Chains A and B, each alone.
Chain A
Amino acid sequence: MAFVASKGPSRRLHGVRRVWAGLSAGDRIVVLLFALIVSVAIAGPWLAPHPTMTADPAQRLLPPSLEHWLGTDDNGIDVFSRLLAAPRTDVTIALVATLLSVLVGAPLGVLAGLFESHPRRVLSLTGEGMLRLLDVLQAFPVFILAMVLVAIRGPGTENVILAVAFVNFPVFLRLVRSELLSLRQRPFAEAARAIGRSDLAAAFVHLLPNALPTVVVQLSVTVGFAVLLTAGLSFVGAGIRPPTPELGAMIAGGAKFMALGQWWVSLFPGLALGAIVFVCGLFGEVIGRALEPGASSAPRRRRAPPLAAAAAATNAPAADPQALLAVDRLSLIGDDPEAPLLETMSLSLRPGERLGIVGVAGAGKSLLLRTVLALPPPGTTVRGRVRFEGRDLETLPAAELRRLRGATLAAILPNAKAQLNPLVRIGDFMAAQIRAHVRCSEAEARRRAAKMLVAVGLTDPERRLDAYPHELSGGMAQRVCIAIALLHRPRLLVADEPTAGLDVTVQRQVLDLMLKLSKEQNVAQIVATRDLGIVAHYCDTVAVLEGGRLVEMGPVAAVLTAPSSAVTHRLIAASRGETA
């Protein structure tokens, strides 16, 4: 319990201490490891218990022992001591090279971003040209480019730094440019331009600081990568050369002994190298999370405490023997068991009955429909019971549940264009849907699909079957979804916002179509909507949801003319265009 108590409101802390307090235990370990690497890089050479650069042939290739913790290499130098001394070389090169590539890449990125969207053709072409040039530069594989640069300029610390910086600056150029382009869309950038700051000044004063978090994260990743690159170059002899202690060269020095069984010469420097790169990457993620505004202290959404009495009063209809769908004390529990997403809801539906579910956004309409379809969001728990045609959906085997869905239990989900897989042709999807429920040939399935498309009022069905979703309008996609829902003569149609995003005429056509089918084929419907007008015209019964609870339910005329709850009052007022 002490642990819980310590999480209570704490005093205001400042600067580093406050950041530290916001970190999780794992993040703190990463920060400490990073600090360890930095300290070894700074003080390592002085901490080494044995000389790091003096050969001693008498001590050649000794295995790890108390005297030489990690053994000795082929020059008789203590591996542990060299390992303490080596990171200074690698980390220094990586840090300096990364800083250099930021100093060159970031301003160039600002220029590229500014030029590219500049109205003057000369400048926009220059920006475009810069990027194309970068494409060509990046066509040369990084390692090869670095190796050749060192080859041309000769080995040595400065040349390795230059080479590593040179191959990395395009990363920062591109990063800053793309950050800039996305930040330019934001209001404060517009404001800066509106008050007459020049583009360039605005970019440097406002945009670059805002792009900083992303750049900082990339920095630590690049430092890790630069360490690997430096070690790789030294490994092939195109970087730092012995006797300077350096991890890649140490690995190279022990390479041939790996095959001979003297593993310690190469193994430990490699582990150290891996650890440095690994910690750098993790450190970047930690900084990224710390810099993200409000990341650590996001308030948890809480719902209003349940009103047990009111819930009990409205949620206990008598069991209906003729019910097609019976929802009995259904609850949906999310992350917080204290605040269920849906709370003890009961309702039932007879064949051919049309139920409207209304409520403001977040009231739980979609969750209710998903639970009715036995597709609750991952990570939630369902309590209570949903019975469809007398069968409990919770206990139904997955295969049978699947055969039910899309056949007798049909679904229409909001925003049809997002529901259809963008990479699957309408015809393929419909045929697969038909053949998942009925034994028939592909050709037969397509014929049925085409017939259904005509039935929902789509012309030229062959062309629609051949189309991808992005080639349809919103109304057409909605009709396709309705067609899919009706393919197997459903008994219940669950429709979530079936007309949202459609213009008024199309909305009407879609609803009339649904009503007609409901009447002709005796299809029961559950329609979730924010639009009371739809409910008034198309439904028999209405259920009002608020905060995951069912607050009112009854015949449409009764509820809409004499609402008993405040929510319903507000919804009615809102639909009349009044303010609540």
Chain B
Amino acid sequence: MRSLIYIGRRLLLLVPQLLLISIATFVLIRALPGDPARLELGPLAPQEGVDQLRRQLRLDQPLPQQYLAYVERLAQGNLGRSWVGSTEVSADLAVRLPATLELIIGGMLLVAVVLVPLAMVSAMPGGGIAGQLARKVSFGYGLLAGALPDFWLGLVLIFVFFSLLGWAPGPEGRLGILDVSPDHVTGMYTVDALIAGDLATFWSALAHLALPCITLAFVYGAPVFKMVRSSLESALKADYTLYARAVGLRPTTVLRYAMRNAAPPSIVMAGVVSGYLLGGAVLIETVFNLNGLGQYAVQAVTTADYAPIQAFVLISAVFTMLVYLLVDLAYFALDPRVSRGATR
């Protein structure tokens, strides 16, 4: 019952948050000098079209009315048109969002599979040569990761693994030039290729994802890495771990219990980082030419294409809010002190 109330309240909080986000994006665009309709349709659009959009946006009416019109349009899934590409923004997003999701999911998987175990091993005392090596690697990584710019790291990886060694494909996009994209199911090429049973395309898509995902994981995994390491370290030093050893629990159980304590702060950090990932994707997609949401936004910014910018800002804020929601729910599930307040 307590949990239902908590989850309900947390979901309810989403309403004012989304409301504020929509107001913020609305204000952001109205802050532009000039006529929003003209900005959205571009300098080349005919005046009749601009006038029609002006009426649709109720630009002749007071601001609250304009805001309502904006929300109405959003509710219909209408995000406006890109005047540069003369396409529906929502249609563009449907194509590009999966590419970004593929990058983000791949990067976070790498963090989970490579960095988190490394962090855990380096947090444990002892462990012989392997443990010492893990601690050295993790020390070096901790020093470097915060300072290296992601976009530059991507370029260095391209230089080393493409031009020098020839192990990875160059920055040619999500697939090789001769590859045919698989039938659209999820829009993520790796998944779609598997669904279609096309292994060659799958490997190609995976190879094209490798360097971008490594870059993303290396740079954005650092805070997660440091949090896992330090929270597991302090859990292993805590009174309850000493006690667990003093009463003779198995070493694996001791570790498992300590990991439970390290999990909540690590998950919060992973959530905060995920919130930044769309921002990180902007740079990495540009470097690797992945044609995702981020690169779309960069193109829109450099060509002053406002409808896509507006849509991207909105989506990234909503994405962040949803990630934070998931984090809160995960924390709730993991820490009984939140879900089962002190009752006696």
Residue numbers of A with Cβ under 8 A of B are 132-133, 135-137, 139-145, 147-148, 150-152, 224, 228, 231-232, 235-238, 248, 251, 254-255, 258-261, 263, 266-267, 269-270, 273-275, 277-278, 281, 370, 373, 375, 378, 402-407, 410-411, 413, 415, 418-425, 429, 432-433, 436-437, 468, 470-473, 484-485
Residues of B293-325 at the interface with A, using a CB-CB cut-off of 8 Å, are 297-298, 300-302, 304, 309, 312-313, 316-317, 320-321, 324
Find out whether the CB atom of A484 lies under 8 angstroms from the CB atom of B155. no
Residues of B233-261 at the interface with A, using a CB-CB cut-off of 8 Å, are 237, 239-251, 253, 257, 260-261
Take A258-B156, A263-B159, A422-B261 as given contacts and tell me if A433 and B279 are in contact as well, using a CB distance cutoff of 8 Å: no
Q: Mark B149-179, 1 if CB is under 8 A from A, else 0.
A: 1111101101100111000001100000000
Take A235-B151, A251-B155 as given contacts and tell me if A147 and B301 are in contact as well, using a CB distance cutoff of 8 Å: yes
Interface size class of B (residues with CB under 8 A): 35 or more
Residues of B5-24 at the interface with A, using a CB-CB cut-off of 8 Å, are 16-17, 20-21, 24
Closest 6 A-B residue pairs measured CB to CB? A406-B248, A270-B152, A143-B279, A141-B279, A406-B247, A278-B147
Dominant secondary structure at the B interface: helix
| A280: nearest chain-B partner, CB-CB | B147
A-B contacts, 29 of them at CB < 8 A, read A137-B24, A139-B321, A141-B278, A143-B279, A144-B282, A144-B313, A151-B304, A152-B32, A224-B147, A228-B149, A236-B286, A236-B302, A237-B302, A255-B287, A259-B159, A267-B156, A267-B159, A274-B148, A277-B147, A378-B125, A378-B237, A402-B245, A421-B257, A429-B244, A433-B248, A433-B249, A436-B249, A437-B248, A470-B336
Residues of B24-76 at the interface with A, using a CB-CB cut-off of 8 Å, are 24, 28, 31-32
Tell me which of B21, B170, B336 contacts A136 (CB under 8 A).
B21
A134 to B25, CA, bound (A): 14
Number of A-B contacts (CB under 8 A): 225
Take A140-B24, A471-B340 as given contacts and tell me if A238 and B156 are in contact as well, using a CB distance cutoff of 8 Å: no
Q: Which residues of A contact B248 (CB under 8 A)?
A: 402-407, 433, 436-437
Q: Does B129 contact A (CB under 8 A)?
A: no
A68 to B155, CA, bound (A): 22
Q: Which residues of B contact A425 (CB under 8 A)?
A: 336
A10 to B175, CA, bound (A): 67
Find out whether the CB atom of A473 lies under 8 angstroms from the CB atom of B344. yes
A141 to B151, CA, bound (A): 17
Find out whether the CB atom of B335 lies under 8 angstroms from the CB atom of A142. no
Q: Does B146 contact A (CB under 8 A)?
A: yes
Find out whether the CB atom of B340 lies under 8 angstroms from the CB atom of A468. yes
Tell me which of B156, B240, B244, B297 contacts A147 (CB under 8 A).
B297
Find out whether the CB atom of B276 lies under 8 angstroms from the CB atom of A141. yes
Q: Does B283 contact A (CB under 8 A)?
A: yes
Q: Which residues of B contact A404 (CB under 8 A)?
A: 248
Q: Which residues of A contact B304 (CB under 8 A)?
A: 151
| B259: nearest chain-A partner, CB-CB | A423
| A425: nearest chain-B partner, CB-CB | B336
A405 to B244, CA, bound (A): 10
| B157: nearest chain-A partner, CB-CB | A258
Dominant secondary structure at the A interface: helix
Q: Which residues of A contact B20 (CB under 8 A)?
A: 132-133, 136
A468 to B244, CA, bound (A): 15
Find out whether the CB atom of A402 lies under 8 angstroms from the CB atom of B250. yes
Q: Which residues of B contact A432 (CB under 8 A)?
A: 249-250, 253
Find out whether the CB atom of A421 lies under 8 angstroms from the CB atom of B336. no
Find out whether the CB atom of A433 lies under 8 angstroms from the CB atom of B31. no
B57 CB to nearest chain A CB (Å): 18
A446 to B335, CA, bound (A): 23
Find out whether the CB atom of B260 lies under 8 angstroms from the CB atom of A423. yes
A177 to B340, CA, bound (A): 29
A371 CB to nearest chain B CB (Å): 12
A427 CB to nearest chain B CB (Å): 13
Take A413-B242, A423-B336 as given contacts and tell me if A270 and B155 are in contact as well, using a CB distance cutoff of 8 Å: yes
Find out whether the CB atom of A421 lies under 8 angstroms from the CB atom of B244. yes
Take A141-B276, A277-B147, A436-B253 as given contacts and tell me if A136 and B243 are in contact as well, using a CB distance cutoff of 8 Å: no
A238 to B248, CA, bound (A): 60
Q: Give 10 A-B pairs besides A141-B276, A278-B144, A406-B246 with Cβ atoms closer than 8 angstroms.
A: A147-B301, A148-B309, A251-B152, A270-B152, A274-B147, A277-B148, A277-B149, A406-B247, A413-B239, A470-B337
Q: Which residues of B contact A375 (CB under 8 A)?
A: 242, 245-246
Q: Does B143 contact A (CB under 8 A)?
A: yes
A132 to B245, CA, bound (A): 44
Q: Which residues of B contact A258 (CB under 8 A)?
A: 155-156, 158-159, 163
Q: Which residues of B contact A433 (CB under 8 A)?
A: 247-249
| B243: nearest chain-A partner, CB-CB | A419
Find out whether the CB atom of A423 lies under 8 angstroms from the CB atom of B343. no
A158 CB to nearest chain B CB (Å): 16
Q: Which residues of A contact B249 (CB under 8 A)?
A: 402, 406, 432-433, 436
| B287: nearest chain-A partner, CB-CB | A255
A388 CB to nearest chain B CB (Å): 13
Counting chain B CB atoms within 10 Å of each CB, the highest count among A137, A147, A422, A470 belongs to A147
Tell me which of B17, B170, B337 contacts A135 (CB under 8 A).
B17
Q: Which residues of B contact A231 (CB under 8 A)?
A: 149
Q: Which residues of B contact A261 (CB under 8 A)?
A: 159, 163-164
Q: Which residues of A contact B324 (CB under 8 A)?
A: 139
Find out whether the CB atom of A148 lies under 8 angstroms from the CB atom of B301. yes
A439 CB to nearest chain B CB (Å): 13
Find out whether the CB atom of B344 lies under 8 angstroms from the CB atom of A147. no
A54 to B166, CA, bound (A): 35
Find out whether the CB atom of B282 lies under 8 angstroms from the CB atom of A236. yes
Q: Which residues of B contact A147 (CB under 8 A)?
A: 282, 297-298, 301
Q: Which residues of B contact A238 (CB under 8 A)?
A: 298, 301-302
Find out whether the CB atom of A236 lies under 8 angstroms from the CB atom of B298. yes
Q: Does B106 contact A (CB under 8 A)?
A: no
Find out whether the CB atom of B21 lies under 8 angstroms from the CB atom of A139. yes
A442 to B334, CA, bound (A): 22
Find out whether the CB atom of B320 lies under 8 angstroms from the CB atom of A140. yes
Q: Which residues of A contact B150 (CB under 8 A)?
A: 232
A229 to B317, CA, bound (A): 19
A535 to B342, CA, bound (A): 34
A142 to B320, CA, bound (A): 11
A503 CB to nearest chain B CB (Å): 15
Find out whether the CB atom of A251 lies under 8 angstroms from the CB atom of B151. yes
| B342: nearest chain-A partner, CB-CB | A470
Q: Does B275 contact A (CB under 8 A)?
A: yes
A375 CB to nearest chain B CB (Å): 6
A576 to B146, CA, bound (A): 59
Q: Which residues of A contact B125 (CB under 8 A)?
A: 378
Find out whether the CB atom of B247 lies under 8 angstroms from the CB atom of A410. yes
A494 CB to nearest chain B CB (Å): 8
A237 to B280, CA, bound (A): 15
Find out whether the CB atom of A274 lies under 8 angstroms from the CB atom of B260. no
| A430: nearest chain-B partner, CB-CB | B247
| A418: nearest chain-B partner, CB-CB | B239
